[in-house]
Chain A
């Protein structure tokens, strides 16, 4: 489980944090409401997840709430990939 969460967290840090942004981001850090990933950028995060896990996340499920933390994202992923730990 942690392996997948770490993969998502690393991607978020790499792609969405500014170089000089030294804030600590954890599995529970609010990404959308915290302004790290805005609702437009969320689409690229969704594409990353779909590609990485070979799934299709319908727009109705891709809500700011569902993407707000790495833990939430992992919960959403498990809906489409029940085989994940």
Chain B
């Protein structure tokens, strides 16, 4: 029996207050995500229920009940308070998918501080940009990532503490403190900081076309949307074992890798491992995963390894599959039906929306390749590209737009209210993607409306890559843009003009690739580099990325009247 019986009925009767009521929340009262995901489950009789089953690539395992989660997050909260961390200070989590990441997330929120999760594969420069912008006070990390922090700490005057979860005291330097979660004193009676609906909670950085990444600032009230979407879209139920592939360095990994399942009191399993089809199937088999939230890139990699490998495993526990990050192509939906006997349900949302906004619901007929329909409570449309008025003609492409006011909408970009206000036109929030709506009300994704590169479900800003490229001694100028890719949807390509004295070579290509990878992240590394003598520019000198992108996608180049060399 699904949580949602009829999409139409839910739309007719839906109000966000349903979620408030189910979470026993009354307007004006304190609301704290950390408390809801741990203490509340214990009060509801789930203290001994397993909250987290964790395994790493070596097969090492750990299990935590909701009471363990409550106590350990209390301990981390107490520890942070003792170290002088105040409410609303930013505390960065910079770790692989270890238990301390999931539990620390709750601990930071419980003291009223703002949690800033960052992808542990980020290089020092990506890390620096985000910590500097957020004026982060403390970072919790692992020994293996400490060197990246040490490289930048001297330029971060606000960063007072570096907490290391797995080091030894003797090798720690100035400002570094050991934080061994399981050795901290247990605190049964921790008093959770009374945050309110509009108190800031999570700060996730996301990339745009221009400028450095922006800090999308969420509030504790976002749990209302994350709880109810996890219930109706992921269909999480009492006896489920849920697996979300996403890393909490990205919004999916927190909204649906922590808050969604735990606010529903559901057990989740975490595999701290890179991609490996066989290992993934073994994991599903071993932990009897019932609900699986994955990504198109991963699904396409699984497809490449074929259905024979699927059949070698007992995956009969699976009952519901969802996908997020980029459009799920029709072939992947059809393949998943053949391979698992179940279709992946595409879900659409982004860092700024905080929760799923357009989706294929359980039980709803799937049109393979479609994004599905708006979540009840969300008013979604596509706007005309020129007038920003809603399009009423089925199939006509426009900008995906949402009526502001849903609970998990970001409240601002950190220190960048102006950038946030630019996201609105005619009273609509503009997602930055293009789509059409068919006569049945299904949305169909077309592509980004800007130069941001969606690679493997992650958005990468061209400006950040170009800035890093310019730091390489051989690079005179560069343009980073998307190139289509059969697995990752898009990958980064860079056109580079070299400085005098440098000659194009394969060695130089590899050197530049590794330079960007180490500085920023593997996602930002150009997967292809083309050396050129000059780049297309406007007469005012702005690089026309869209010309380069259009060539890659075999699309019309458009108006070239402003081109420099015309």
Contact = CB atoms under 8 A, between A and B. Distances in A.
Given A20-B143, A44-B510, A51-B506, A64 B522 contact: no
B279 interface: yes
Interface string B270-294: 0011111111000000000000000
A41 B492 CA distance: 12
Contact of A33 (B275, B486, B510, B523): B275
Contact of A20 (B147, B272, B273): B147
B517 A32 contact: no
A42 to B, nearest CB: 9
Contact of B274 (A39, A48, A59): A39
Interface in B275-323: 275-279, 301, 304-305
B276 A51 contact: no
Central interface residue in B145, B279, B486, B510, by most chain A CB within 10 Å? B510
Contacts of A68: 276
A10 interface: no
B57 interface: yes
B377 interface: no
Contacts, number: 87
B148 interface: yes
Contact of B279 (A23, A33, A38): A33
Given A43-B527, A51-B506, A65 B305 contact: yes
Nearest to B298: A39
Task: Give the bracket for the number of chain A residues in contact with chain B.
Answer: 20 to 34
A30 B57 contact: yes
B187 to A, nearest CB: 31
A3 B475 CA distance: 34
A37 to B, nearest CB: 8
Label chain B's interface by main secondary structure.
helix
Interface in B510-530: 510, 513-514, 517, 522-523, 525, 527
A47 B274 contact: no
A28 to B, nearest CB: 12
Given A40-B523, A51-B510, A34 B274 contact: yes
B276 A30 contact: yes
Nearest to B518: A15
B456 A40 contact: yes
A33 B276 contact: yes
Interface in B125-154: 143-148
B517 A44 contact: yes
Contacts of B510: 44, 47-48, 51
B273 A35 contact: yes
Contacts of B279: 33
Counting chain A CB atoms within 10 Å of each CB, the highest count among B145, B275, B488 belongs to: B275
B56 to A, nearest CB: 9
B174 interface: no
Contact of A64 (B58, B275, B488, B527): B275
B121 interface: yes
A59 B527 CA distance: 12
Contacts of B513: 43-44, 47
Contacts of A15: 514
A41 B486 CA distance: 17
Interface in A5-60: 15, 18-21, 23, 30, 32-41, 43-44, 47-48, 51, 59-60
B411 interface: no
A21 B121 CA distance: 13
Contacts of A60: 304
Nearest to B301: A64
A35 B143 contact: no
B509 interface: yes
Nearest to B277: A65
Contacts of A44: 510, 513-514, 517, 525
Nearest to A35: B274
Nearest to A42: B522
A39 B273 contact: no
B96 interface: yes
Contacts of B523: 40
Interface in B240-279: 272-279
Interface in B374-391: none
A42 B354 CA distance: 31
B555 interface: no
Nearest to B271: A33
A41 B474 CA distance: 22
A37 B525 CA distance: 13
Nearest to B96: A35
A44 B58 CA distance: 25
B354 to A, nearest CB: 26
Given A18-B147, A32-B276, A38-B275, 15 more contacts: A30-B57, A32-B275, A34-B273, A36-B274, A39-B274, A40-B455, A44-B514, A44-B517, A47-B510, A47-B513, A51-B506, A60-B304, A64-B275, A64-B277, A65-B277
21 contacts: A33-B273, A33-B274, A33-B275, A33-B276, A34-B274, A35-B272, A38-B522, A39-B275, A40-B456, A40-B488, A40-B527, A41-B525, A43-B525, A44-B513, A44-B514, A47-B513, A63-B301, A63-B304, A65-B277, A65-B305, A68-B276
Can you list the 5 inter-chain pairs with the closest CB atoms, starting with the nearest? Answer: A33-B276, A40-B522, A19-B147, A21-B144, A41-B522
